[in-house]
Amino acid sequence: DLRKKDNSYETDSLSDLFNNVKQSIVSGKADYLDVLKDIFSNYMNFVNELRQTISNLNKYQKAGSKEGTVNFDFKSFFNDLSNIRDKYKNPTGTVDDPFVFKSRLFFQHQKDGTYLRTIDGQEVHYSDLQQVNNAADALEKLLKGINGISVSIQRRGGEPDVDIDCRGRIDCTDLEKLLNDLSKKVSNTDDINQTEFELFRKTIDALDKKINTNLDELSKKYSTANSNYDNFVKIVSSTMNTLLEMAKGFLRF
């Protein structure tokens, strides 16, 4: 936030500059670092829960009645995967049934045409609607660039305030494809031959690889964000200290 001055030649004081930098740090943490942290943490929970099921096929299989065959409990496997899908695809928002990401961006319109947003008790000011839209667009771009989640961004209420609801859910498309295939097998209690079972395992392995790839990408995004944020804070702190020393030196003359 660098709010517009009535006098275009007016120079911001050092205090104003520090305040603007502080607001950038607060909003950057809320709309960048914390967002990726929440998504990474919750997606990892999904991956761990799903892998506990798909990596433990022995729980559902036993030797067939004939050599070279396998008896697999497709119904139990289908039910266990369905429970995971239902939990993460249609979350209620409770502690045990979480959105992978949920945030509300509320920008309160002020009499002078600026907007005020409060983040963890800290005030962040936006000079006009364009800055508000830029902040919302940046968050939307970040969210939609993440594989493995589906994003819903809705504006609530009317002007002049801006109220944006952001929610992210696990993208269960690949899991649903697997469940669709399994639904055709749940009534089958007969043994299947080893070749058919190996093809089935390859489908499971493909899903496992996909979710792990998504998790790896998320991990890298979060690690990069964390590093960028730390470096930004360090550089800003160093610059602010230098400016303070320069100001003190100037005042001594």
pTM above 0.85, yes or no: no
At 133-161, the pLDDT tens digits run 999 999 999 999 999 998 888 888 777 99
Structure confidence at residue 74 (pLDDT): 93
Mean pLDDT, rounded, for 71-89: 92
Q: In what order do the strands lie in the sheet containing 69-72?
A: 61-63, 69-72, 192-193
At 81-102, the pLDDT tens digits run 999 998 888 776 665 656 788 8
Structure confidence at residue 179 (pLDDT): 95
Higher pLDDT, 4 or 28: 28
- Locate tokens 């990408």: which residue? 217
Percentage above 70 pLDDT, the chain: 88
Domain 14-252 has CATH 3.40.50.1110: no
Q: Which residues pair with 167 in a beta bridge?
A: 102, 152
**Nearest-angstrom CA–CA distance, 37 and 211:** 17
pLDDT surpassing 70 at residue 199: yes
**Nearest-angstrom CA–CA distance, 131 and 124:** 12
The DSSP symbol for 3 reads: P
